[in-house]
Amino acid sequence: MFKTKMGKFLQRHFKVLIAYTALGILLTVYANLQPRLFTRPVLTATLNQSMALVLASMGQMAVILTAGIDLSIGPIVSLANVLASVLFPDHVLGVIAASLVILAVGALAGLINGILVVYGRLQPIIVTLATASIYSGFALMLRPRPGGYVPSWYGELLTGRLLDWVPASLVLLVVVLIGIWYPFRRSALGLAVYAVGSDERAAYMSGLNVHRAKVMAYVLAGFLAALAGLFLTAQTSSGDATIGGVYTLQSIGAVVLGGTSLFGGSGSVAGTIAGAFVIRIISSVLFFAGINPLSQPLFEGLVLLIAISLGAIRTFTLHNRLDVMR
Amino acid sequence: MNVGMRAWDRFHHGWKGMRQDYRNVLIAYTMIVFIIGIGSLFTPQFASPNYLLLQLLKASFLGVVAAGQMIVILTGNIDLSVSWTLNLAAVMVTSIAQGQNERLWLGVLAALAVGFVVGLLNGLGVAYLRIPSLVLTLGMDAVVKGLTILYTGAQPKGEAPEMLNFIVHHKIGGLVPSAVVVWFIISIICYLILHKSGLGRKIYAIGNNEICSYLSGIKTNRVIIKAFILSGTMNALAGVLLVGYAGRSFNGMGEPYLLPGIAAVVIGGTNILGGSGLYMGTVAGAIIITLLESTLSIMQISQAGRNIIYGIVILTMLFMYGRGHKVHE
Amino acid sequence: MTALVEAIEVTKRYDGVVALDRATFRCAPGSIHALVGENGAGKSTLVKILSGVIPPDSGTVKVWGRPVNIRTPAMAARLGIVAVFQELSLMPDLTVAENIFITHPPRNRLGLIDKSQLYRRTEQLLRRLGFPPIDPDTPVSQLPLAHRQLVEIAKALARDPQVLIMDEGTSALTVQDVEKVFDLMKKLRSNGRSVIFISHRMDEVEEIADTITIFRDGRNVASFPANNLDRTKIVQLMIGRKIDQVFPSKANQYTYSSAPVMEVKHLSWGNILHDINLSLHKGEILGIGGLEGQGQRELFLSLFGVLRNVRGHIYIDGTEVKINEPSDALKHGIQIALIPEDRKTEGLILTMPVKHNVTLATLNKYTNLLFLMDKKELLDAQNVVNQLKIKVSSINVPVRNLSGGNQQKVVIAKWLLTEAKVYLLYDLTRGIDVGTKHEIYKLMRSLTDDGAGILFFSTDISELAGMCDRVLVMYEGRIKSELSGTELNEENLVSVSLGLGTNNQRVTER
């Protein structure tokens, strides 16, 4: 019984396990190179440098689960960052209120994406390409040049440690997982998102509200991207309209590395988190390995490419070429 | 019924009966006229031949990139390795030619070879390993970026040979910039490939239905590989032209061409899912994006405003074109 | 008595082709109502309208006598109408339990899905229905087809429907499982619910239905109680004419002694095909029979080079050939043509015009060094379209706009241009109107009269019996027996397919 259960687990979570194996190897190497990795300051810094991507990737994942894609993730991250640098006052209540407004703006941006995709019946990749341009335009309009003021306690709060022990970013991640992702995954809505991505027609025939599920996936993506932007604001303590640029493609990379299918319907958030960490930690590892800084981007690229290619293993197990093409 | 009504009816009827892809191209060219009209309101010289030819020169780099992207998109794939393929090719030109005219051909050859190889690798991965092109070409872009940075040591060295500058800027007959002529020649080749050759027919067939194409005896993997090779080579060519235009290569020079390239293809009426679209549309797409950029800058609209208008134009064009069906249809 | 569900004067067109033509249908409460008719008669369209998958162009649907506008499957479910479709409505990545309770999963106090409850309920449901204990936590994509069908049925029944619609929902089930499903249907009936049941198996209809409605050409041509059942009458009503004289005569100038055009020896693939041996003669139509899913599709695909790692030998005109890709099958000297199972996804490029579809397999013929020779291509395309009497205003029209029969003719036209020696025809008359079928039959004979060999699979047993010179019956990936001459008739085909023997000597056990 144990054996079959174990086997089933391995089979089901094969791709996620690959992601964690990669992360494990990376961390082992990292720990050997940087013995202080598991000290509080270094660990906190490592988490901080990955957290915005983790959040943005979770958003990207929600959309990819519906067999869509969101190229506006990065610009929404920027928009949130810029808004924070414009709106944040000094006092706590004001910051909280502004944060809520910013999260709402992110969700609204996602809602617009979703509505255009679903009711405009346009392809996600093009819709979000266009809205990406629009959202980055708004970010630039608010802050043509980097700058702005963010209260210092805000940065310390989110990037520091609680009780000098637990990294605040880790707490944030746990709160997001328990407060947002878990309820989403376990709700009828979450089930519908997976169902739509798995087979939209079947989902429709089963009586699901296909439209609502898709729109909500984009809303969630916008919300999480805005949250990523807020976290990034804590790291940089200023506003920059181009800061989110890299997050669009990196988030897609993280989601794919984490084992989520670009065709939708399957994938787990645990994999996505591992994928995001892998993408962010590679550069530190390469740095500590003393590799020529100029060859770092090449290694980063190669790791990404190899990880992506692992998904191709499936192709060789199919002996009907028509199945390969489907 | 008066004459005007009848004429409208005839127009309306002809419009409805027209093939969707032809209709899209007409919309795109109407858009060009419209933008030129708007631009002329702000500066009278906008519609002058010299100014428009300058716009064509600017559009030619994007046009070459978009031509390659279109071929890949028609097969139902996408090429996201544009930025750094273009960049590495440009770097090859300046570093190999070392500013010497007699070494220019070597540099150009090396640049095109880079594009060819990147395209080949993309094609092999998509066709035989069946890795979704979206992520494979993304990964490939990262690798090529790494190679470029490693090769150049952060900042590319070398200048463009005089001859390349001259070729790109030289006005044939005192009027038409050579880069525009290159684009024109590329366009004729792409037109012939896509609309007059067996390869083109196969590209459209695969983009519409790969399984049926395969079962009709088409070697679909080879066609996909050829499409990516064309795209990679085209990106490299754009890199060469840009070196001539800017007089040098620099890291990051390819980035402004990735997403606008895709946008040009889509604005030109090509279906992003593949299988339909006319080459003439993509030419229009590249021109629209360039003209839009210039018009907005003449109107002294900030970068922010341009981005917003740019996105809205893409969405508007998409809504004018044919859209997807409802789930159950 | 008020009908539980009723359709009045319902019309539906697809791209100008009439699928339902002012059809009327009523289903009384507490009945099992069989819908029979040929493929394309409009049965599936009717049940799709009743279950909210597609809207009618005109006409009224009533539930308990009240007019309703069923816009989505979700609305149909709220009205108590739940359908089990031929093409399954299961989400492959979701687990069995998630699929079954997709719209109303059990929730805990926080409103979140209660997983343990979900699995427990699924197990209970499957047990209550008498189905095998399928693991509720398995993704549906990993289940065999028969189990998927059971899950689909369980999913429908979990919604406690007033009207259960079964559109060929039992085709892959074992005899025992079909019996279980029938028992469930009877239980529904005794509770005053109704079942609308589409099946091509007359014995199933006889066994279970209490009312029969016959559809032909998009109309309801007869409804009557099942105890008045008269098989020949039903078949006549379905076809609308006498059933004899449908097939062209089998006699032709070739005989079995003619050389085999294709020979297959010891062909095996994975655990699906086992040691297939056959020889196809010039001028012969060789049938491949058996229940669906016995490896027939894989046999055809393997002969056409679609499958990897096929073992065995293929000979064309006595020479061994290697067919690793469909492009090999098309090579001069091999010249095999395949008309695949699903014309919409495998046979045609729906969005491309007729002319480009018919020349797709012969593009090389129309290409000189660099370019396509438009004139030659157009000429040949127009000729073959005329030859097959494909009804289309112009060869520039996208294939999508053609009716099913004409679409299939376009597929045939494509392969005619290849001048093949061997035609692999996979169920090519499915969903095609009677008139076109007749034309296709004549065309098949004229191909063999010209010396081609045809390997012919059909799900329509009368077609196999009427068209083929010999039939090989497949069972679990093997060729089990061969029927020919007078022994080649529908009864024998059925009994051999089911694994029952016949008393005749001409049936060769292999």
- pLDDT of C505 reads 44
ipTM: 0.86
Q: Are C91 and C99 in contact (CB under 8 A)?
A: yes
Q: Considering its fold, how many domains does chain C have in total?
A: 3
Query: Alpha-carbon distance C209 to C207, whole Å?
Result: 6
B214·A325 Cβ contact <8 A: yes
In B, residues 263-282, which contact C (CB 8 Å cutoff)?
275-276
Give the confidence band of A261 by pLDDT, cuts at 50, 70, 90: confident
C326·B208 Cβ contact <8 A: no
Query: Alpha-carbon distance A202 to C96, whole Å?
Result: 14
pLDDT of C238 above 80: no
Are C330 and C351 members of one domain? no
Of B201, B208, B328, the CB nearest to C53: B328
Q: Please indicate, yes or no, if residue C246 is contained in any of the structural domains.
A: no
- pLDDT of B247 reads 85
A187·C113 Cβ contact <8 A: yes
Chain C partners within 8 Å of B212 (Cβ): 345-349, 360
Q: What is the pLDDT of residues A194-212, one digit of tens each?
A: 999 999 989 998 888 999 9
CA distance A28 to chain C (A): 34
Query: Alpha-carbon distance C457 to C492, whole Å?
Result: 16
Give the confidence band of B112 by pLDDT, cuts at 50, 70, 90: very high
Query: Which CATH number characterizes residue C183's domain?
Result: 3.40.50.300
Chain C partners within 8 Å of B204 (Cβ): 352
B205·C356 Cβ contact <8 A: yes
Q: Please indicate, yes or no, if residue C247 is contained in any of the structural domains.
A: no
Are C80 and C186 members of one domain? yes
Of B130, B149, B311, the CB nearest to A130: B311
Max mean pLDDT range (A28-37, A111-120, A316-325, C68-77): A111-120
- Nearest-CA neighbor of B228 among B140, B289, B143? B140
pLDDT of C507 above 60: no
C72·A265 Cβ contact <8 A: no
CB atoms within 10 A of CB C320: 10
Q: What is the pLDDT of residues C116-169, one digit of tens each?
A: 999 999 999 999 988 888 899 988 888 887 888 889 999 999 988 999 998 877
- Domain spans of chain A, in order of start: 16-31+41-325
- pLDDT of B325 reads 52
- pLDDT of C87 reads 66
- pLDDT of B8 reads 76
Of B198, B213, B215, the CB nearest to C367: B198
CA distance B296 to chain C (A): 38
Comparing C347 with C255, the larger pLDDT belongs to C347
In C, residues 354-393, which contact A (CB 8 Å cutoff)?
none
Instruction: Using alpha carbons, list the distances in angstroms from residue C393 to B299, C353, C384, C401, C406.
Output: 51, 12, 15, 10, 12
Least confidently predicted of A149-158, C205-214, C494-503: C494-503
- Mean pLDDT, rounded, for C243-261: 67
Q: Please indicate, yes or no, if residue B3 is contained in any of the structural domains.
A: no
Q: Please indicate, yes or no, if residue C467 is contained in any of the structural domains.
A: yes
Q: Please indicate, yes or no, if residue B8 is contained in any of the structural domains.
A: no
Are C414 and C427 members of one domain? no
> Which structural domain, as residue segments, surrounds residue B48?
19-320
- pLDDT of C237 reads 77
H helices, E strands: number in chain A: 16, 2
Of C345, C363, C367, the CB nearest to B209: C345
Quote the percentage of chain C above a pLDDT of 90: 28
Q: Considering its fold, how many domains does chain B have in total?
A: 1
Are C455 and C329 members of one domain? yes
Cβ-proximal residues to A54 (8 Å cutoff; 6+ apart), any chain: A173, A228, A254, A272, A273, A276, A277
Neighbours of chain B (3+ CB pairs under 8 A): A, C
pTM, two decimal places: 0.87
What CATH number was assigned to the domain covering residues A16-31+41-325?
A: 1.10.3470
Are C229 and C263 members of one domain? no
Least confidently predicted of A275-289, B153-167, B294-308, C334-348: B153-167
Q: What is the pLDDT of residues B114-166, one digit of tens each?
A: 999 999 999 999 999 888 898 899 889 989 999 998 888 867 767 778 778 87
- pLDDT of C241 reads 57
Q: Decide if A197 touches C, using CB distance below 8 A.
A: yes
DSSP letter assigned to residue A212 = H
Query: Alpha-carbon distance A269 to A247, whole Å?
Result: 17
Q: Please indicate, yes or no, if residue B12 is contained in any of the structural domains.
A: no
Per DSSP, the residues of C349-367 read: -TTSBHHHHHTGGGGGGGB
Give the confidence band of B328 by pLDDT, cuts at 50, 70, 90: very low
Chain C partners within 8 Å of B276 (Cβ): 351
- pLDDT of A1 reads 39
CB atoms within 10 A of CB A237: 17
Amino acid at B250: F
- pLDDT of C255 reads 60
Chain A partners within 8 Å of C270 (Cβ): 319
> What is the phi/psi pair of residue C377, to 5°?
-60, -50
Q: What is the pLDDT of residues C363-412, one digit of tens each?
A: 888 888 778 888 889 999 999 999 988 888 888 888 988 877 888 899 99
Nearest Cα residue in chain A from C105? A188
CB atoms within 10 A of CB C497: 21
Are C222 and C262 members of one domain? no
Q: What is the pLDDT of residues C456-484, one digit of tens each?
A: 998 777 888 888 989 999 988 899 888 88
Chain C partners within 8 Å of A324 (Cβ): none
- pLDDT of C375 reads 86
pLDDT of A246 above 80: yes
Q: Decide if A5 touches C, using CB distance below 8 A.
A: no
* Token representation of residue B42: 């702000």
pLDDT of C503 above 60: no
> Which structural domain, as residue segments, surrounds residue C400?
344-419
Query: Alpha-carbon distance A260 to A311, whole Å?
Result: 10
Q: What is the pLDDT of residues C283-322, one digit of tens each?
A: 889 999 887 778 899 999 999 999 988 999 999 998 999 9
pLDDT of B299 above 60: yes
Are C178 and C121 members of one domain? yes
> 3-state DSSP call for residue C384?
helix
Give the confidence band of B67 by pLDDT, cuts at 50, 70, 90: very high
Query: Alpha-carbon distance C269 to C292, whole Å?
Result: 18
C340·B197 Cβ contact <8 A: no
Give the confidence band of B329 by pLDDT, cuts at 50, 70, 90: very low
- Mean pLDDT, rounded, for B207-212: 93
* Token representation of residue A133: 């341009």
> 3-state DSSP call for residue C226?
helix
